[in-house]
Amino acid sequence: MPDRRHFLASGLALAAGRSLAQLSPRAAGRVLIVGGGWGGLAAASRLRRNAPELDVTLVEREPVFRSLPLSNAWLVGRAPEVIAPAQHAAIAAQVGYRHLRAEATAIDRAQRRLHTAQGVLDYDWLILAPGIRYDYAPWLGDDARAIEAVRRDFPAGYVAGELDALKRKLVDFKGGVLLMTVPPGPSRCPPAPYERAVMIAWWLKSRRIPGRLILVDAGGGMQRFNRVFAERYQDQIQHLTHATVKALDPYAKSLQTEFDEIRFDDAIIIPPQAAPDILRQAGLLETDAAGGPGHWAAFDPLRLHAIGDERVFIVGDLLGRASPLFGAYPKSAHMAARLGRIAADGIAAQAHGVSPAPTFPESVCFVHTDVEPAEALRIEASYRQRGDGLITQSVRQREEPQPRGEDAEWARALFAEMLAS
Ligand SMILES: Cc1cc2nc3c(=O)[nH]c(=O)nc-3n(C[C@H](O)[C@H](O)[C@H](O)COP(=O)(O)OP(=O)(O)OC[C@H]3O[C@@H](n4cnc5c(N)ncnc54)[C@H](O)[C@@H]3O)c2cc1C
C-alpha cells in the first residue's frame, strides 16, 4: 500500500475516483512524469533545476528505485550493488518534487488527464518514461496461466523488481541444464544477455557446478562474446544461434525451436519486448506494416514529443525508430537519462515561451566480456543532424583490457545527476 501520509504531506490525497489534481496547489503549470527509472528521474531533476516554478509529480508504481546496469556482476556476487536501492519518496523529497506511488492506467489526451489506480490527475505536460513490457505472446500466445508461470518461475530479470528472485535462482542451481533465451530485437540493452551468460559461465566454472548454460539466441550473438564463449567457456555454455522459439512449456520445462527440443532444469526466460500498454491505449504507438499499432512508441526524434501532441513527451526504452539511417536509439540507461533531460528542457522552454535549443542525446555503455581476468567493452554512441534533417549515429567500441571500475564510476555519476536539483 502507498504511504498515505506521504500524499497528504505533499498535497495529494488518496481518493480513488476523485480528481487528485483538484487537491494539488496551483502552479505555473503541472508536469506529470510516468515512470521513475533512469528516464523519468533524470527528467524530474532537470525540471526542478530549469523550471522550478512548475509543479512536478512523478507517478511510479514501485516504492524503490533499483539499477539494472551492473546487475549482472551483482547476480553472481562479483560486485556490490553499485547504486544502493533508493526509496522514491526519499529521492523526491531530496530533489523537490512529488512522488505518487500508483500505477498509471490510461491517458485522456483531449482533456489532458492521467488516470491512475489512485485517482485522476490533470496535466499541462506529461512525460512518459515507463520503460518496457514483456511480450510473451509470440512464444505463449494468450495463455495467461502459462505466462504467469513463466514470469513467476523463470523471471527474466529485465525489470528491477525481479533481481532478487533471479539471484536466488542462481544460488540454488546445483547442476543440470540452465536455459536462457536471448529474444529477437529490438530489446533492452542487447549485450546484457551475453554479459550475463559470461557471468553465469564463470560462476559454474569457478564453483565447479556440474551444469551447463544453454543460450537459445534469436540472433547470431556478438562477435566478442562468441569468441569468449568458444575459447574459455566451451564446457559451460552451449550457444544456439538463429534459434526461433516455437513452443515453451513451463510445466514440463521444455522449449522447442525449429531444430531442437530442449529439456531444462531451470531457466531464465528473457522474452520479446515492447512499449507498455498505456502507449497503445493513448494511441501513441508506431504503425506496423499492416497499418495497425506497432510495438514501440512513435515520437518526434528531435524534440521527443508525441507526433501531433506537444504536451506529451516520450523518453527511454519504449521509443521506436528515431531515424531511417540507424533505427532506434540504444535502449540504455545513459540514453534514457539524456532523453529525460531533453524532454524536460523542451517543457521548460514551452513554459518560458522560447524555442528549445536542439540537443542530441548520447549513450555510454560498459559491458563485461570476462570475469577473471576482468575485461570490458566501452560502447559509445553519438548523434547529429544531417543537412537533409535526418539524424545520424556514430558508434565507437573500445576494449578495456584492464577495467578499473569505470563502469561503477559511470553509474554513480549518472545517478548523482539524477539526485541533483
Ligand atoms: C541486465 C541488464 C543490464 C543492463 N546494463 C546496462 C548498462 O550497463 N548500461 C546501460 O546504460 N544500460 C543498461 N541496461 C539498460 C537499462 O537498464 C535501461 O535502458 C534503462 O533502465 C531504461 O530506462 P527507462 O527509464 O526507459 O526504463 P526503466 O528504468 O525500466 O524505468 C521505468 C519505470 O516505470 C515504471 N512504470 C512502468 N509502467 C508504469 C505505470 N503504468 N505506472 C507507474 N509506473 C510505471 C517502472 O516501475 C519503472 O520504475 C541494462 C538492462 C538490463 C536488463
- What is the DSSP secondary-structure string of 52-75? TTSEEEEEESSSEE---TTHHHHH
Per-residue pLDDT band at 11 (split at 50, 70, 90) = very low
Q: From 167, 189, 364, give the residue whose CB has the most ligand 1 atoms within 8 Å, as the site to mutate.
A: 189
280's grid cell: 497503445
CATH numeric code, 4-131+275-358+405-419: 3.50.50.60
Does the pLDDT at position 24 exceed 80?
A: no
Average of per-residue pLDDT across 77-93: 93
What whole-number distance in Å separates Cα of residue 21 and Cα of residue 30?
A: 9
- Nearest-CA residue for ligand 1 atom 29 is 37
Supply the pLDDT for residue 357.
Answer: 84
What whole-number distance in Å separates Cα of residue 60 and Cα of residue 34?
A: 6
Does the pLDDT at position 119 exceed 80?
A: yes
Supply the pLDDT for residue 16.
Answer: 39
Does the pLDDT at position 28 exceed 80?
A: yes
Q: From 132, 134, 188, give the residue whose CB has the most ligand 1 atoms within 8 Å, as the site to mutate.
A: 188
The helix/strand/coil state of 406 is helix
Per-residue pLDDT band at 356 (split at 50, 70, 90) = confident
- CATH architecture of the domain 139-272 equals 3-Layer(bba) Sandwich (3.50)
Phi-psi region of 147 (alpha: psi -120 to 50; beta: other; left: phi over 0): alpha
Higher pLDDT, 358 or 191: 191
**CA angle (398 as vertex; 394, 399 as ends), nearest 5:** 160
Residue showing cell 518496457: 132
Ligand 1 interacting residues, C-beta cut-off 6 A: 34-40, 59-62, 68-72, 103-104, 129-131, 158, 188-189, 192, 276, 278, 316-317, 331-334, 336, 365-366
What whole-number distance in Å separates Cα of residue 33 and Cα of residue 59?
A: 6
CA-wise closest residue to 88 among 65, 118, 61: 65
Average of per-residue pLDDT across 299-328: 97
Does the pLDDT at position 18 exceed 50?
A: no
Average of per-residue pLDDT across 301-314: 97
What whole-number distance in Å separates Cα of residue 287 and Cα of residue 296?
A: 9
CA–centroid distance, residue 328 to ligand 1 (Å): 16
CA–centroid distance, residue 191 to ligand 1 (Å): 15
Dihedral, CA atoms, 45, 122, 59, 54, nearest 10 degrees?
Answer: 10
Domain with CATH 3.50.50.60 in the chain: 4-131+275-358+405-419, 139-272
Does the pLDDT at position 12 exceed 70?
A: no
Does the pLDDT at position 196 exceed 90?
A: yes
